């Protein structure tokens, strides 16, 4: 039979497949593959000065990874964690080594525990190398400043379990007491947020427990206001007690409608398609925008041409550009990276890191050194950061700080695999940096007249064309983009261009920086070597003692790839753990208790 007018068969099939995928996406199993958190029990023994001895018992199933970790982020001023100990169900006591290094070999971490200082808190870690299966871990530590004095009262305001969990706990409990003191409902007012359950004062203790399984949006936050003079806190805050209450209550209210549907379906076992009949269609409409981008990338790879949101039709018109010798975008690296990203032509986002590192090597901001490879009996190429020089741009400076954080003190020497591991753990910071670089690039494009407010024509799902306000490339912007592609073409064909000028020798270091952005630095360096072997092999070209320029370009490229790879893996793992949850949580309380393996 012939296809009737309407939705094409291929389109209908694609839409059906899309709806199935959406259903699978929206359905959330109660647990991960085999990993599980059966229960979390937290006992808090408060002291007169507001500090506490905390005991957390985690009943879990582990299926992968080399270490387990609990997050204790956003600690309040005056809070700190000390005296860590970890034991398991067999009585094994893990050796506290102090500062934890996640980059060590898995076998070296087993049987040890320690702390990683994060931005505003800690991660409690212990090694689990090949020790998979069911376990009950008892984690004990001292927390200073858990109870603090506020203007108008004394209170405990703490996220005991956060949303960053490997899987969904079946049940939780928190018991808070002070040895020698009996809390009563008259002198102790209590609230709990972030989960379905109860909180009450009973038998002289504050008790909170869940009545339903926790999901990815859930957390466990406890606010207790002590009105009977039970404490003499060592830590004071300038906030009022009313402000603390207000922040805690406001922060607990938001749960997205989509998450409510997901949790309802998972809890009651209702078929997802029936549950989401009223949700699938609008989500599909918005999701098709992503599909459009995906198909655009396929068209580009097939050579059929694509359309950029800002720079119009690509493909053939950019392949036919003339050679251009001028440095792109008036010699602006970050705009070049942003434009290549917008055109969908970046090999990976990390090419900007390679460009910055090569530029820093040229300016002696970093040096290449040899670093002994642990357990391998050989040396590895690494970079050594030098003191910050004046004039670094905002994105450059932030990259420098990330490299310094990954290298650590005292030598500030960093090997690329260390950088990849660091980027995986700190993927959120890396992602924010990439976003900032894109924002800066677009801002500078606008300032030079390459982007401006305009309209773009889009086709609705029903085929109607409409115009939307948008930021689009001006004629000058399109010309800049063509010149950039002409410069890339020039670099790729450098050896076969007959007309070369003496100043090109002087500019070749700048050329290599842009070649890094384009992802062709190794090939361009080889061309320069063929054309100017004497200049290429001069001693001043050996940055920090590197054997030759191929080593330099390859090494700087590898750091960009390492950062992008680490970021992507960390971001994917975070999505797998938390299913992309967002929102919730009062900013006035400290948070912690997320758990998982890596």
Per-residue pLDDT at 224 exceeds 80: yes
Per-residue pLDDT tens over the stretch 566-578: 787 776 665 544 3
Three-state DSSP at 220 gives strand
Give 128-134's long-range contacts (Cβ < 8 A, gap of 24+): 128/62, 128/65, 128/66, 128/67, 128/68, 128/597, 129/66, 129/67, 130/106, 131/62, 132/62, 132/63, 132/64, 133/61, 133/62, 134/59, 134/60, 134/61
Per-residue pLDDT tens over the stretch 275-312: 455 556 556 655 666 666 565 555 545 444 444 555 65
Pull the structure tokens for residue 542.
């050996």
Pull the structure tokens for residue 225.
């206001």
Q: What is the pTM of this model?
A: 0.50
566, 430 Cβ separation under 8 angstroms? yes
**Residue 579 confidence (pLDDT):** 36
From the number of C-beta atoms within 10 Å of its C-beta (0-12, 13-18, 19+), residue 27 rates as middle
**Residue 496 confidence (pLDDT):** 65
61, 133 Cβ separation under 8 angstroms? yes
- Rounded to whole angstroms, the Cα distance separating 49 from 54 reads 15
Q: pLDDT-derived band of residue 29, with 50, 70 and 90 as boundaries? A: very low
Which of 70-79, 332-341, 390-399, 441-450 shows the lowest per-residue confidence on average (mean pLDDT)? Answer: 70-79
Q: Of 16-25, 27-36, 95-104, 386-395, which has the strongest mean pLDDT?
A: 95-104
Q: What is the mean pLDDT of residues 373-398?
A: 80
């Amino acid at each position: 039979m012939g296809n009737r007018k309407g939705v094409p068969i291929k389109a209908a099939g694609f839409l059906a497949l899309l709806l199935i995928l959406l259903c699978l996406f929206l359905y959330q199993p109660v647990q991960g593959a085999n990993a599980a958190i059966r229960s979390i029990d937290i006992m808090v023994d408060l002291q007169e000065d507001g500090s506490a001895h905390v005991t957390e018992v985690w009943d879990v199933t582990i299926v992968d990874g080399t270490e387990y970790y609990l997050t204790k982020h956003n600690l309040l001023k005056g809070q700190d964690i000390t005296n860590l100990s970890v034991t398991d169900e067999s009585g094994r006591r893990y050796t506290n080594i102090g500062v934890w290094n996640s980059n060590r070999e898995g076998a070296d971490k087993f049987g040890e525990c320690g702390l990683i200082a994060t931005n505003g808190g800690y991660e409690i870690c212990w090694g689990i190398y090949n020790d998979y299966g069911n376990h009950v871990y008892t984690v004990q530590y001292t927390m200073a400043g858990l109870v603090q004095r506020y203007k108008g009262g004394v209170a405990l305001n703490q996220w005991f379990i956060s949303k960053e969990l490997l899987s969904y706990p079946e049940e939780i409990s928190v018991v808070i007491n002070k040895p020698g003191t009996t809390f009563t409902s008259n002198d102790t007012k209590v609230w709990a947020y972030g989960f379905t359950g109860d909180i009450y004062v009973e038998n002289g203790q504050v008790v909170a427990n869940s009545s339903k399984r926790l999901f990815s949006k859930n957390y466990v936050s406890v606010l207790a206001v002590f009105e009977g003079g039970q404490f003499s806190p060592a830590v004071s805050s300038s906030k009022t007690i009313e402000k603390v209450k207000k922040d805690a209550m406001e922060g607990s209210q938001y749960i997205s409608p989509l998450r409510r549907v997901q949790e309802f379906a998972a809890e009651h076992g209702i078929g997802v398609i029936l549950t989401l009949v009223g949700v699938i269609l609008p989500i599909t409409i918005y999701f098709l925008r992503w599909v459009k981008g995906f198909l655009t990338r396929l068209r580009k790879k097939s050579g059929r041409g694509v359309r950029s949101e800002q720079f119009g039709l690509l493909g053939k018109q950019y392949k036919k550009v003339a050679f251009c010798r001028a440095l792109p975008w008036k010699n602006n690296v970050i705009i070049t990276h942003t434009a290549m990203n917008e055109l969908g032509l970046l090999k990976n986002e990390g090419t900007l890191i390679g460009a910055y590192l090569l530029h820093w090597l040229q300016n002696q901001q970093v040096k290449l050194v040899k670093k002994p490879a642990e357990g391998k009996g050989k040396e590895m190429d690494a970079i050594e950061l030098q003191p910050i020089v004046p004039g670094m741009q905002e994105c450059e400076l932030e990259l420098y700080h990330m490299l310094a954080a990954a290298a650590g003190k005292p030598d500030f020497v960093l090997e690329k695999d260390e950088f990849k591991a660091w980027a995986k753990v700190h993927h959120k910071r890396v992602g924010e940096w990439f976003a900032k670089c894109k924002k800066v690039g677009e801002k500078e494009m606008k300032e030079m007249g390459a982007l401006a407010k305009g309209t773009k024509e889009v086709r609705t799902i029903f085929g109607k064309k409409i115009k939307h306000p948008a930021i689009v490339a001006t004629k000058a912007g399109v010309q800049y983009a063509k010149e950039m592609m002409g410069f890339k073409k020039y670099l790729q064909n450098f050896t076969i261009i007959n007309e070369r000028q003496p100043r090109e020798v002087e500019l070749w270091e700048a050329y290599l920086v842009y070649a890094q952005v384009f992802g062709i630095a190794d090939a361009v360096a080889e061309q320069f070597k063929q054309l100017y072997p004497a200049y290429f092999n001069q001693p001043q070209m050996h940055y920090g003692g590197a054997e030759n320029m191929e080593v330099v370009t390859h090494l700087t490229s590898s750091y960009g790839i390492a950062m992008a790879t680490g970021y992507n893996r960390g971001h994917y793992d975070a999505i797998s753990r938390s299913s992309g949850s967002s929102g919730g949580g009062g900013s006035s309380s400290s948070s912690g208790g997320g758990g998982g393996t890596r």
